[in-house]
Amino acid sequence: MRLFSQARNSAGWRVRIALHLKGLAFEYVPVSGLPPGTWRELNPQGLMPALAIGGRIVAQSGAILELLEELHPAPPLLPAAPVARAEVRAFAQAIAADLHPLNNNRVRKYLAGPLGRSPGEIDGWYRHWVAAGLAPLEETLRRSEAGGPFCFGPRPTLADLHLVPQLYNCRRFACDLAPYPRLVAADAACRTVPAFLAAAPERLPDYSGAEPPWAG
């Protein structure tokens, strides 16, 4: 398998964690190192990540994560009980489908470029959507009977795979995470897991160390 991505690509980071948790060998291919035009040729969706597997290319981190779970069910990224599985998926999708798309790079570039918004306005946009996204997730975990130390119980799930890159991004943009102690605690628990540490951006050849390392 080859994973096409970038060091700080949040969606690709989710997949890297899953690959490491499941102990799967893969080649990491930084998209920035590909010859011009190659990336769109390989992946018509044009966003990162994409996984090359069996001579085909799979886009979308959610699709890749499901594929990995189907091909390599152990260790599982979801709990066993159907409703508990749905709760974990709901948490992950709130980040992947609702929060992350509003704050990713191409949206911020469009706000800055064609829409001519100032850095302060774009920071305000970012923080508005982070607060709108994270507050319900904090409340979800506060109410959950699954407990910690991870989002949903004693083992990392898809929820943690989505949370870690999202909080990293929030810290990059100096968001106040104090209102989300349960989310911050789950992120801290992930830093004790070798697979999460192995998947950290600073472990990758295309990382340029502007921020403090995640795996520290």
Ligand X SMILES: N[C@@H](CCC(=O)N[C@@H](CS)C(=O)NCC(=O)O)C(=O)O
| Contacting residues toward ligand X, per CB under 6 A | 9-11, 47-49, 60-62, 96, 104-106
Please enumerate in sequence order all residues whose Cβ is within 8 A of that of 114, keeping only pairs 6 or more positions apart, or say none: none
Phi, psi angle pair for 117, to nearest 5°: -80, 150
- Comparing CB distances to ligand X, the nearer of 15 and 144 is 15
Min CB(12)–ligand X separation in Å = 7
Closest to ligand X by CB, 5 or 140: 5
CB 138 within 8 A of CB 187: no
Q: How far is the CB of 143 from ligand X (least distance, A)?
A: 26
The CB-nearest residue to ligand X is 106
Nearest to 183 by CA among 214, 139, 143: 139
Shortest approach of ligand X to residue 148 CB, angstroms?
26
Q: Closer CB to ligand X, residue 60 or residue 140?
A: 60
CB of 128 to ligand X, least distance (A): 19
CB-based contact 74:23 (threshold 8 Å):
no
Beta strands 56-59 and 50-53, pairing class = antiparallel
Q: Which lies closer to ligand X via its Cβ, residue 20 or residue 162?
A: 162
CB 89 within 8 A of CB 158: yes
Q: Which is nearer to ligand X, 59 or 144 (CB)?
A: 59
